Amino acid sequence: MLKIYRGEGDRLVESDNIDLSTMNAAEASGPIWIDLIEPSPDEAAAVAGYIGIQIPGMAEMEEIEPSSRLYSEEGAQFMTVTTVVGVGAGEPTKTPVAFILRNGHLITVRYAEPRQFGLFLANALRGTGEKTETSEAVMLGLLEAQVNWLADLLERVGRDIDVLSHGVFQSKIKKVNRKTADLRSIMTEIGRQGDLLSLVRESLVSLVRLLIYHQTLSPRAKGDKAARSRSRILVRDAQSLGEHATFLSGKLSFLLDATLGLINLEQNQIIKIFSVAAVVFLPPTLVASIYGMNFKNMPELDWGAGYPWALGLMIFSAALPFLYFKRRGWL
């Protein structure tokens, strides 16, 4: 899918039915933003012919080394950022988004529908209050939307962690089986939140790298005070969010350790009960074994109180270790 936008003051206007092959990229009235969404080979070729550079494919965008994500070629800046998609609609995952700046044009290449694009467009099409007449302003607007989206995700993760913490430390479930099952479900949720947090942190790191690279190489950013200030604010915001993500990651690790510790305590309690039961019934078993022997000269065979004596001795031998364990606080 190919979408083309022009800038009019503080808003974007989508242009329909434009044939890029008939247009000159040097025209001042040309589009400032070309958005390629899962582009077909024909669409990628049309944009490449219009802008004069090769459009990177999905395989190139997924490269993790910085030299493949941030580079300049033929007067164009190629910058790829990682973003999070699929939150709330299944398992969250990451996807690369490429930003290409050349001759006053912004080309974005993506193979998913990140939420921040929809958030930015919803504001930009009706007017943002800030100028969107340049491709750089559009790119910074998209990156701001991504920072805001990642901040929302971190807030959501923080709330979920508080709920998990309450479930771990303030659970009122008494039955061991139910409590263990509840703790195991909490561990599963901790793993899910950890995966999401890892994706958010990866996205923030790639975002900071992109902004610093753009600040360093873009002559327009060096001359445009507003763009430079906006970019610096974005870097600070992304870095502060990264620190907050690290803090949340530490809380998740603590919760995981605490949950595992509680599960071990519950299991140890069960094992302790079986161990104590075995020790408690060991002396009565010994007594029963002795009086179960069929010896002719056993004195108690002719004793009228022999049977109750044996029963009382077994009860006493069971109660003695039980009381000892209770006194030592082992029960």
pLDDT digits over 226-277, tens only?
A: 778 888 899 999 999 999 999 999 999 998 888 888 878 777 777 777 777 7
Region 324-330 average pLDDT: 70
Domain containing residue 295: CATH number:
1.20.58.340
3-state secondary structure of 283: helix
Q: What is the pLDDT of residue 130?
A: 58
How large is the average pLDDT for residues 74-80? 87
Closest CA to 36 of 125, 8, 53, 87: 53
Residue of 252, 49, 243 whose CA lies nearest to 168: 252
Retrieve residue 1's tokens.
């899918």
Cα torsion angle, 247, 248, 251, 257, sign? negative
Cβ 85 vs Cβ 93: under 8 Å: yes
14 φ, ψ (degrees, to nearest 5)? -75, 130
One-letter amino acid at 192 equals R
pTM: 0.75
Specify which residues 15 forms β-bridges with.
Answer: 4
| Burial (Cβ within 10 Å: 0-12, 13-18, ≥19) of residue 145 | buried
Please check whether residues 212 and 297 belong to one and the same domain.
no
* Residue 37: closest CA among 96, 122, 110, 106: 110
182 and 103 within one domain: yes
Instruction: Give the bridge partners for 109, in sequence order.
Output: 36, 98
The encoded tokens of residue 294 equal 């069929």
Mean pLDDT of 35-64: 85
Of 228, 246, 265, which closes a domain?
Answer: 265
Tell me the C-alpha distance between 32 and 29, whole Å: 9
Question: With bands split at pLDDT 50, 70 and 90, how would you rate the model's confidence at 25?
Answer: low
Question: Of 265, 289, 309, which residue constitutes the final position of a domain?
Answer: 265
- Tell me what the mean pLDDT of segment 90-109 comes to: 87
Are the C-beta atoms of 108 and 87 separated by less than 8 Å? no
pLDDT on residue 143: 92
| Separation between Cα atoms, residue 174 and residue 266, nearest integer Å | 11
| Average pLDDT score over residue span 68-80 | 86
Structure tokens at 170: 């303030």
**303 and 192 assigned to the same domain:** no
Number of domains in the chain: 2
CA-CA distance, 150 to 161, in Å (whole number)? 16
Q: Are strands 2-8 and 76-85 parallel, antiparallel or unpaired?
A: unpaired
109-123, 143-157, 209-223: lowest mean pLDDT where?
209-223
pLDDT in tens, 269-323: 777 777 777 877 787 887 777 777 666 667 776 777 877 887 888 888 888 877 8
Q: Do residues 311 and 171 both lie within one domain? A: no
Domain co-membership, 287 together with 141: no
Asked if residue 195 and residue 70 are part of one domain, the reply reads yes
**Residues 220 and 280 both lie in one domain:** no
- The residue written with tokens 């944009």 in the block is 47
Please write the tens of the pLDDT for every residue from 109-135. Answer: 998 888 888 888 888 887 655 556 688
Residues 174 and 219 in one domain: yes
Q: Which domain holds residue 151?
A: 2-265
- Beta-carbon neighbour count of residue 69 at 10 Å? 23
Query: What letter would DSSP give residue 55?
Result: P
